[in-house]
Amino acid sequence: MTETSNPVELVGREPDERLLSQDLDNLPVAVGRPEIAPPSRARRRIVGTGATLTGVSLVLGVLLVLIGVIDGVASGIGLAAVLAFVVGLVLIATHWGWVHVAEITATSIEGRANADVLARQRQWLAGIEPYTRIEVSTAVEDDGSITINSVRHRPIPTGEHSFTFAREVEHREVHSPDEPAASVTERAEQLRREGAVVTERERERYEIAAQAYESALMGRADEEQRRLARRAASEALSGQINTNLREPPLVE
């Protein structure tokens, strides 16, 4: 049986900001994509400067260590030799710090320059609801065959109060280039309809749980209220499932 997400575990959670970056490809196509912030012209210069300072610090640190060692051997261990050696070690140990400083500085500048875009990204992200979507797509292989992929985008909890999506290929079938186009089209449409039925069912399950959760929460956010609200969401979802078992809904 294909794994599905429990809506009760997802109500009250906010989309993880990783969906704007490393988890972006896991998002269903149907939800769209966020506005892209224009690259900062200053970032390349700042990061380049940080890389240069990193190299300079390393080379200078090595030279000072060598000077300290040579001076100590030639003239005895004196203040100048010890100072050169210690400063050299500090420069070697901290030379990567320039890269981090440059990255933090560049990110800060980009954040201020793209504040409006970032605000719109977060607003767009907040509109994504955590229910499973099934999406069907086709691809043409090198030999001319057509592959039909049915992909499940399943929401999963992250942290204490957020969620992201997992992308799972649920079904894959390859059709020969000799197969009639009408037959392939009909099969793809059949899978699309089946996916749409599952998506709608998952949306309804989530909305029932979310409405019950919000009604029970009544604007309070302490953990006890959250627990009681999730119990109310479970009861509402269970009631809807039992109703469907007694009177199965019509589906395609």
Q: Write the pLDDT tens digit of every residue in 19-70.
A: 998 999 999 999 999 888 776 666 677 777 878 888 888 888 888 888 878 8
Closest CA to 44 of 94, 97, 96, 105: 105
Quickly state the pLDDT bin for 143 (edges 50, 70, 90).
confident
State the average pLDDT over residues 161-166: 94
- CA distance readout (Å), 216 to 36, 157, 206: 38, 21, 15
Q: Are residues 83 and 167 in the same domain?
A: no
Q: Are residues 93 and 160 in the same domain?
A: no
Q: Is this prediction's pTM over 0.85?
A: no
Instruction: Provide the percentage of residues in the chain whose pLDDT is more than 70.
Output: 83
Residue with the bigger pLDDT between 189 and 56: it is 189
CB atoms within 10 A of CB 240: 16
Closest CA to 124 of 53, 27, 51: 27
pLDDT score recorded for residue 1 = 41
pLDDT score recorded for residue 252 = 47
Q: Are residues 149 and 107 in the same domain?
A: no
pLDDT tens across 1-17, in order? 456 678 888 988 999 99
Q: Phi and psi dihedrals of 155, rounded to 5?
A: -70, 140
Token pair belonging to 87: 């400063």
Q: Give the chain's domain count.
A: 2
Residue 199 in any domain: the answer is: yes
Give the range of the structural domain holding residue 146, as residue numbers without chain letter: 130-246
Q: Are residues 224 and 143 in the same domain?
A: yes
Q: Are residues 165 and 80 in the same domain?
A: no
Q: Are residues 145 and 173 in the same domain?
A: yes
Q: Among 3-7, 161-165, 194-198, 207-211, which stretch is predicted with the lowest mean pLDDT?
A: 3-7
Q: Do residues 133 and 197 lie in contact, with contact meaning Cβ atoms separated by under 8 Å?
A: no
Q: Is the confidence at residue 200, as pLDDT, over 60?
A: yes
pLDDT score recorded for residue 12 = 86
Q: Are residues 138 and 229 in the same domain?
A: yes
Q: Is the confidence at residue 106, as pLDDT, over 80?
A: no
Q: Are residues 91 and 154 in the same domain?
A: no
Q: Are residues 70 and 158 in the same domain?
A: no
Alpha helices, H only, the chain: 7-10, 41-75, 79-94, 97-113, 115-126, 181-217, 223-246
